[in-house]
Structure 1
Amino acid sequence: MPETRDVSVRARWTSIVLAAVTVASLTACGSDSANTAATGASASPNAVSGPITVFAAASLTGSFTQIGKDFEAANPGTTVTFSFAGSSALATQINQGAPADVFASAAPANMKTVTDAGNADGTPETFVKNQLVIVVPKGNPKNITTLAGLAQPGVKVALCAPQVPCGAAAQKALQAANVTVTPVTQEQDVKAALSKVTLGEVDAALVYRTDAKAAASDVEGVEFPESASAINEYPIVVVKNAPNKAGAQAFVAYVLSEPAKKVLTDAGFQAP
């Protein structure tokens, strides 16, 4: 009988110890879960990382450079590299197989060349709009106040090339005003057209509001009503053969987020 009683006692204590260990383990797991939820930490193996290459319209240079830095800060382990140029040139490069993760165009027409070629992953989404202004040197020495002023004798004007979004928009605005302008130069992106004014090579150029605002220390922007008929929408999309598809999707999502929208509107872009 004593031996049987000892076995029973040992069994009872074993059960108590096992129960205590189980409760402790469950408590520890619960604490870990609570801590993870509180800090926002994640052990997901699908975290965004690696290089992300973004092809973007030249007019996005300032804004996207800042957005890229903000994105990298929010996603440690990522590196965003930009290729800024005219949207038509970027679209051609993508269709020729250039390794890009994201394409942000300054006009739907240039984006359409990419989607028509089957090189977009998903449907492009418009994230901002932009509008033209006449940009002139400080003091407006030629006293240009309307589009008609660009057609005055002796006024040298720079425009973007017709296939570039800012060039196509300029043609629409000039047609709406029934004004014919013969530019002394046609540039491949809006930054190049703006530089002709800042360098003193021309008397005026048609550029976006955002570019005039960014160069406000060197130039003045002259608003004109016909610009309302030539507002450009900016679409963005993940490229079909993106080397970093997860990174591309995350970057596009960030561009559409409130922090990025603030950067863009502060630069003078309009909400879509």
Structure 2
Amino acid sequence: MARVLVGVKRVIDYAVKIRVKPDKTGVVTEGVKHSMNPFDEIAVEEAVKMKEKKLATEVVAVSVGPAQSQETLRTALAMGVDRGIHVEISGKDFELLQPIHVSKILAKLAQEEKADLVVLGKQAIDDDSNQTAQMTAALLDWPQGTFCAKIEKTDAGLTIAREVDGGVETIKTKVPAVLSADLRLNTPRYATLPNIMKAKKKPIKKVTAKDLGVDTTPRIEILSVEDPPVRQAGTIVPDVDALIAKLKEGGHI
């Protein structure tokens, strides 16, 4: 494999408590800490490991989003990625950007960059769509390995252990392919200070969706974003008989 393309998304940090905007058009993002999507960190780690094992010669990170997405790309570069591509989309277009748009962008870049592998996080923690890898594979007409827990190179291609509801399923696939990283695939490394400094000198190419011939016109309209309902407080019952009586009444415990 010569080149691995890895997707990195800038999302609200997983430790931040999400607040809905008063007008219910979305969530508050201004002045809120953002970082790389945790599943994308796993994807980056796996791609860098492939390069370290001499299974890949170059790793290219792609981020689709506003100007601040460059910070996310720099994090990927500090983890060992060779170069970055920033597809700048901001404002309303970014707020209504969907997996179908991102998939089209990634598929186009995979072809332009002559990538042998596209590695993505299985889902983003902001929209939880879990669609981008699957649609990218469909657009490229490449085989896919989703929810990867283990990836091994074989003479014929790749052997992938993937997380399924009933346990772990093992599949074989040829290359080129699209993979999505699950939680147990690896533990992402921390970027060291020397690597953070080196990352500042690594190139980031800026392109637009228009340059790639991708139409990002929104296909959805957000009607309302609301907080989940607050859970009602539970009650403590003295014994099993009282519990059964309460359940028969159809009450909540």
Fold match (TM-score > 0.5): no
Larger % of helix: which? 1
TM-score by length of 1: 0.28
Larger Cα Rg: Structure 1 or Structure 2? 1
TM-score, scaled relative to structure 2 = 0.29
